[in-house]
Structure 1
Amino acid sequence: MWPRGSRGRRAWPRGLRARLLVAFVLVTVFGAAAAAWSSARSASTALAAGAERQFVETVTNQITANAAGLTYPPGQSTLDQLASAVGADTTVTYQNLRSTTGPDSDLITDAIRAAVQHGDSLFVQRIAAQGRPWLIVGTPVVITSTTGTRTPSGIQVYAVRDLTSVQRQIHSLTRSEAITTGLALPLAVLLALVAAGSVLRPVRRLRDTARRLSAGDLDARAVPRGADELADLTVTLNEMAESVQTSMAAMRRMQDDARRFAADASHELRTPLSTLTAVMEVLAAASQEMDGDARESAQLAIAETHRLVQLAEDLMEVSRFDAGTARLRTEDVEVGGAVRDCLRTRAWTDQVELSAPGEIWSRCDRRRLDVIVANLVGNALRHGAPPVRVSVSGAPEQVWIEVTDSGPGLPEQVLPHVFDRFYKADEARSRAPGSGLGLAIALENTLLHGGELTAGNASGGGARFVVRLPRGREDT
């Protein structure tokens, strides 16, 4: 069954070109039909009125020409003379006398006779009888004296005329108008095509320009033609494109400046941070002999120094991705073993449950794989709850690494931003360990491998991150 309201929507063309064609053709055809109908109606009325007028004039002229020579009161011969003078299908009556020159006198009804007898003027009526149209003219004969006095003579004249020939002319005229309307249809379609083309051509140019803009070609412009609404729309679109291009250029400059600043700052910090790290190592060794408050301050300084070093390293890594200089150094890696080594190096084996059945090999960058796993597991340990689980599985073409924790999971409002740089779901964690770039770096390294990293929540609760990597990637 059709959905409610869908039949009407489907019956009307959806394309602008088709709708313009249909609308133009309908308007043209309806206009031609209305004009033809009006013309045919006017012509038909004129034909009928002309035939009626001519017949009435003929009857009245004959009566007027012969009335003066009649004898009053008239006898049968007088009635016959008048009926013969008026013409065929004429009936003349006087009291009980009657003269008829045609077979159609029975069309004169009692109502017509009463109208003529009780009137003093011409009576005209059109009727349909015997399957044909007829015109009946009835009039009393009036005697006019030399003084101008008009006296009814008692004679009534009834004339009947068959209008079949007039009706045939009207039908022929109607058919001609219908044929003319039909011949106007191809012309209407042709005119509709021309009109639709002239209207849609600038619309198509605007569409093509908009598509180029949406594809990233901010130099795309449409040339306005004419001075109509479409030309105004073209100018507006060009102004909008110019504004967007200017804004995008300014944004790119600001982004380039920010990336360059991050790269330069992290690079310049490496030397002083290396020196500061060496000092912190000496301070760490000496802190064991310090008093409680001094030891606590030293440990805080050491932790913040390590955090600053990690932030500088992460900024340099991010700047490499932004500059497009990050490259893979691929080799055949047993993924389960690489994950196990990552956990062992960071002393996480007691806090993380690893499931890696069998050997699963992939051609990837071992160092970047270690960064991916370390960032995901470190994030789970910092912001989730134990136990943290890592599982490795494979298929002929892909490898999956899944990291889940048993914490509260990721809120819905956090999921769209979980891989954003420096994004903090909770302001209270702004001083938490980490640079705020770990998940963003994990995503960039995954994409560099041609893989995919997704974030969500596990069915039993807790956050769930899944890394998908292709198994066979050539060196780049």
Structure 2
Amino acid sequence: MRRPRVRRPLVRRPRVSRPRLRRPRLRVRRWFGGLRTRLVVAFVLVALVSAVTTSALAYRESRTAVLERKQDAVLTDFTNRVDQAAADFDVPADEASLNRFATGIADGLGDDALVVARYRSLTASSDASADRTRITPALRDAVRKYNRMSFQRVDLEENPYLVVGTPVTFDSGAPSGLDVFAITSLRAEREHTAGLLYAARNAIVPVVLLAALLALLAAGTVLRPVRELGRATRQHAAGDLTSRVRVRGSDELASLAHDFNETAQALEASVTELREQDVRAKRFVADVSHELRTPLAAMTMVATVLDEDAATLPPDAAHAARTVSDETARLSRLVDDLMEMSRFDSGAARLNLTDTDLAESVRATLSLRGWTDRVATDLPCGVRALVDRRRLDVIVANLVGNALRHGAEPVTLTVSTDPEGDWITAEVTDEGAGLPPEALAHVFDRFYKADSARTRSEGSGLGTAIALENARLHGGTIEAANRAGGGAVFTLRMPWRLTPEESP
């Protein structure tokens, strides 16, 4: 009788399933707030991803090592026990010998091990009441088909098991018809790996908190120069060009602070020089205008005498006398306008507020210049306010005169008040071609001419600028626009200062 021998299994390295890492769904907000918040969030995310990745890799390697150690131990013990039991086992076998065979192998594999022996149509196990469904058909087929040891991990009722099967062969290598299966629980290994995962998961929380703390400290260090730059920039925008940033260290932020200080110093020097030049220019204009008044007064008297006697002079002399008179009058207006602008520039202009009937004041302005018949008016009666009569006269005269010279009649002047009674509005419109688009932004500039080819005009080129300065002195403004139906419209808006009788 030939004794069966156990064929040494070709033990295959178990394939340990890798845990799938699921990326947490982070709702990325479109706006993270300030730079400090974005730095902290980025730092924490990097730390979190690093901690999760490290924990997952450590868990995978630990789980693989634990399972491999368990599987190697079970396979070695199972092979040795089968070799020993097969040496005393004779075939053909009956049910009693098959039970002894299975029980003998199970005694050396541990208390939780179950051994099932199959010989042809007979099946015996070390525990008759145990569940044999953990031996899957796939594992039985693999043992019979390949005639070598195979194993498989299965889960039954959420409990993991390692199932090993091997055929028993004769010394010649022929199959004996006896297959042996061992079932070993992997619950201890699962609990061990679960403990590793729990420890790794708990370690993530302090790592993230530590990362957040370090991020706050790093953000404070990085953002301190940025905040100082912001403060200095705001001070520069407010007009304080002496603000500087302290340079710390030699990194990129220090280089940026150094460049900012150099730029601020150059800007301060340039602005100081421009301001000095502006002050000198304004003083020069004021001085020249003042010095011209005395000789200009004498020239005006002489030109007036010549103009009165022009009728008795020869034609050429009469034409020259009238030309001198006209140019002298124009020069006088120009000097007066320059003197007025110098008062605005120096801050010497003041309001002389008086109780004024707006309709009567506007009519007086038009009558004084002979424009009553050329200008259509819509003036409400009984509207009184505290205004500077002279400056209001200058505003109306400049706006109406500009419309008559550069627009087309009819020219309309409308005065109104808003329903709340807080503002006074005066509109001057004409029926001309309107203002060119490029002139709208410069119509209140000094000496600006919409037609660059026109080198001379009846006015000084300061009329609209003086009107705007007078409106601002009253706390108002003037706007220029083109009407949809054609023509230009100048709108004066001033706060309504009530007379003492009308004040509540």
TM category (shorter chain) comes to 0.7 to 0.9
Alpha-carbon deviation of 1:293?
4.0
Measured after TM superposition, the shift of residue 397 of structure 1 is 4.4
| Displacement after TM superposition at 1:376 (Å) | 1.8
Does the 8 A contact of 1:362 with 1:470 survive in 2? no
User: Aligned to 1:33, what secondary structure does the other structure show?
Assistant: helix
Q: Cα offset for 1:35?
A: 2.3
- SS state of the match for residue 353, structure 1? strand
CA contact (8 A) 1:126 1:134 kept: yes
Kindly indicate whether the alpha-carbon contact (under 8 Å) linking 1:221 and 1:241 is maintained by their aligned counterparts in 2. yes
Q: CA RMSD for the aligned pairs? A: 3.2
- On the 8 A contact 2:114/2:182 being kept in 1, the answer is yes
Query: Aligned residue for 2:236?
Result: 213
Q: Which amino acid aligns with 1:300?
A: T
**Matching residue of 2:67:** 48
Contact 1:104 / 1:160 at 8 angstroms: preserved in 2?
Answer: no
Tell me the amino acid that sits aligned with residue 41 of structure 2.
V
Aligned to 2:109: none
TM-fit CA distance, 1:114 = 4.9
Where 2:394 maps in the other structure, the secondary structure is helix
2:13 counterpart residue number: none
* Alignment correspondent of 1:134: 161
Deviation at 1:447, TM superposition (A): 1.4
Stretches of structure 2 lacking an aligned partner (at least 5 in a row): 1-26, 107-112, 500-504
Q: Aligned pairs, how many?
A: 461
1:352 CA drift (Å):
2.8
- Secondary structure of the residue aligned to 2:447 is coil
Aligned to 1:326: 349
* Structure-2 residue corresponding to 1:3: none
Identity between Structure 1 and Structure 2 (%): 43
Please show how residues 381-396 of structure 1 align to structure 2 within 5 Å. Answer: 381-394=404-417, 396=421
Structure 1 residues 433 and 106, CA gap change in structure 2 (3 angstroms)? closer
**Contact 2:384 2:498 survives alignment (8 Å):** no
Question: C-alpha distance in 2, partners of 1:130/1:362?
Answer: 96
**Structure 1 Cα separation of the partners of residues 438 and 346 of structure 2:** 30
1:448 aligns with 2:473: yes
Q: Which amino acid aligns with 1:279?
A: V
Q: Which amino acid aligns with 1:70?
A: D
TM-score, normalised relative to structure 2: 0.80
Shift of 1:215: 1.6
Tell me which of 321, 327, 348 is aligned to 2:371.
348
Distance 2:141 2:213 in 1: 61
Question: Could you say if the C-alpha distance between residues 106 and 380 of structure 1 is closer, same or farther in structure 2, counting changes exceeding 3 Å?
Answer: closer
Aligned partners of 1:361 and 1:471 also within 8 Å: no
Letter in 1 for 2:357: E
Match of 1:414, SS? helix
Q: Structure 1 residues 104, 431: CA separation in 2 closer, same or farther (over 3 Å shift)? A: same
Check whether the contact 1:355–1:391 (CA below 8 A) recurs between aligned residues.
yes
Aligned-partner Cα distance in 1 for 2:287–2:437: 36
Contact 2:139 2:151 in 1 (8 A): no
User: Which runs of 5 or more structure 1 residues have no equivalent in the other structure?
Assistant: 1-7, 145-149
Q: 1:73 to 1:404 in 2, by over 3 A?
A: closer
1:62 equivalenced with 2:81 (yes/no): yes
Matched, 1:13 2:38: no
Task: Please state whether the residue corresponding to 1:417 is helix, strand or coil.
Answer: coil
1:405 and 2:430 are equivalent in the alignment: yes
Distance in 1 between the 2:280 and 2:203 partners?
A: 74
Deviations, residues 185-206 of structure 1 (Å, cap 9, x unaligned): 4444434433433333333222
Of the three residues 415, 440, 443, the one matched with 1:418 is: 443
Q: Secondary structure at the match of 2:325?
A: helix
Q: Return 405-414 or 452-461, whichever deviates more.
A: 452-461
Once residues 322 and 134 of structure 1 are traced to their aligned partners in structure 2, the CA distance between those partners, rounded to angstroms, is 96
What are the superposed Cα offsets for residues 406-457 of structure 1, whole Å, 9 maximum, x if unpaired?
Answer: 2222222212111110010012432111110111111111211222222223
For residues 439 and 131 of structure 1, what CA distance do their matches in structure 2 show?
92
Deviations 1:143-194 (A, max 9, x none): 77xxxxx756835443221223322333343333333334544444434433
